Structure 1
Amino acid sequence: MSSSRPAPSKRAGAAAAGAVIDRVPELVSVPDSELLHADARVDGVVTPSPELPIVGMCLVETGTLVELKSAMVRLASGGRGRFYLRRPQHKALLDAGGVYLFAVAEPRPAREPIAMKIVPATIVDDVVGDSWRDAGDDRADCAQVRWGRLFDSTEVSR
């Protein structure tokens, strides 16, 4: 018998996304939709700050789609956490001129972010390169990006 309760990683991602949206008042959550391929939309201009740097852009305009991705600062193995990207979602963000908001979070409580950064999907495309892999089981191709590829360790250490 299968449970309707989401997997732990899905629940953790949802908790982190909620914490990010609480911290960034210019973001509004968007309902799940295969057409949007995003978690949020900018509702007011986002400008860079020490708490939320923006890579390669001066600001993020109203209406921009935002995909929220979180990774734990440390895995149980002791290594750095990873962001999991899905190819169809990434392509949709590229097509829409969207951005990712990456958050590195403590595993508990409630996956509170300790570092955040906005990165345009076009730049993430360069970071991922040809590391997409077949996820199997009719799931979309995916890529994993360690947080150290997007953040300097000084941004994450607190």
Structure 2
Amino acid sequence: MSSRSPKQRGSAVEGAIIQKVPELTHTTADHWDAITTAAVHDIETFQDLDVDCDTEIEIKSAAVVISGDRCGRFYLREQQHEALLEKGGWYLFTVAPPHEIEPLAMRLVPAAVVDEMIDAWVIVEDRAPFKQFAWSQFIEPSEVNR
């Protein structure tokens, strides 16, 4: 798995998540990865949630560590975030060991909650505006066994 690019790794993790969570089905939409096929209510993987059927879900993955002991990052693109926000969608944040796709921990977070955490988008020449978050901003480190 180490030879995969971050995008390839993200796609592989996405597939593993969709197989693991029966309420999700893959979609080919431009701005999200999955749609809920049933309501998600307090299942084993997610706590105290009420996500309706037919809700757009963007799956974001991060390696538990990158370069030494630094937490991996979730990479959000502004255009994608705005589309998900407009639909009332959710992010499914997941953390996996480096070079692996099986999740160590997952968290569903409404795009509206994530929006409140975005103070500004990073603008770099030749790239779409983006924002990065350490996975520890959404998932308790105690839930992840490094």
- RMSD, aligned CA: 1.6
Task: Give the TM-score, by structure 2 length.
Answer: 0.91
Paired residues in the alignment total 143
Task: Give the TM-score normalised by the residue count of structure 1.
Answer: 0.84
Unaligned runs of 5+ residues in structure 1 are 1-6
Superposition deviation, residue 51 in structure 1: 2.2
- State the match for 2:117 in structure 1: 127
Aligned to 1:107, the other structure's residue is in SS state coil
Structure 2 residue identity aligned to 1:134: I
Of the three residues 98, 107, 124, the one matched with 1:117 is: 107
1:81-125 Cα deviation digits (max 9, x unpaired): 00000000000011000000000111233x110000100000001
Residue ranges of structure 2 left out of the alignment (5+ in a row): none
> What residue in structure 2 maps to residue 75 of structure 1?
66
Opposite residue 137 of structure 2, the aligned amino acid is R
Matched, 1:63 2:57: no
The answer to whether 1:9 aligns with 2:6 is: yes
Structural mapping, 1:37-48, within 5 Å: 37-48=31-42
Q: Which runs of 4+ in 1 moved over 4 A?
A: none
Q: Which residue of 1 aligns with 2:137?
A: 149
1:41 match: secondary structure: strand
Aligned match for 2:47, one of 29, 50, 53: 53
Label 1:136 to 1:119 Cα distance change in 2 as closer, same or farther (>3 A): same
| CA-CA distance at 1:140 after TM superposition | 1.6
SS of 1:124's equivalent in the other structure is helix
Alignment match, 1:3 = none
Question: Are 2:18 and 1:21 equivalent residues in the alignment?
Answer: yes
C-alpha displacement of 1:50: 4.3
